Structure 1
Amino acid sequence: MLRSGLLRAASAVRWYVRELMDESAYERYVAHARSHDPSVSVPSRREFERMRTDRQESDPSAGFRCC
């Protein structure tokens, strides 16, 4: 009983940290792309992160922040 509660709590903390750090963005992107077209070719995680960084750097209204 205690072990299952600790596992649930650890899982919730892991989910929260991943969402906070936006580490799950790639998984959301892949799920969204494949839900619209299952045969779509999705970029690798590295390509996805490069596209995100390039988009953030090129948007003057948002301002680029490294940290």
Structure 2
Amino acid sequence: MFKNLILKKLRHCWHLIQQLSGDSAYAQYLQHHADFHASTVDAPAALSRKDFYKLWQDQKWTGVKRCC
């Protein structure tokens, strides 16, 4: 039982690390695309993992991101 509790906590910590680092961003994008765009007739195809992360990085680092 103690072992299961530790494994559960470790999985939770790993999930949080993935969320904070952006590792799960592509999976979330695919889930969103399937939920909201699959029923649309003229919906664009989902981006590849490479294209998604390139777009994600470009959006993150393009433009002024500071106050001064």
User: How high is the TM-score relative to the length of structure 1?
Assistant: 0.75
Which of 40, 46, 49 is the equivalent residue of 1:45?
49
Range with bigger deviation, 35-44 or 5-14: 35-44
Partner residue, 2:28: 28
Amino acid at match of 2:53: E
Offset of residue 5 of structure 1: 0.5
Count of matched residue pairs? 62
Offset of residue 42 of structure 1: 0.9
User: How high is the TM-score relative to the length of structure 2?
Assistant: 0.75
Offset of residue 53 of structure 1: 1.6
Higher relative contact order (CA 8 A, sep 6+): 2
Gaps of 5+ in 1: none
Which of 59, 62, 65 is the equivalent residue of 2:65?
62
Give every structure 1 segment of 4 or more consecutive aligned residues whose post-TM-superposition deviation is greater than 3 Å: none
CA RMSD of aligned residues (A): 1.7
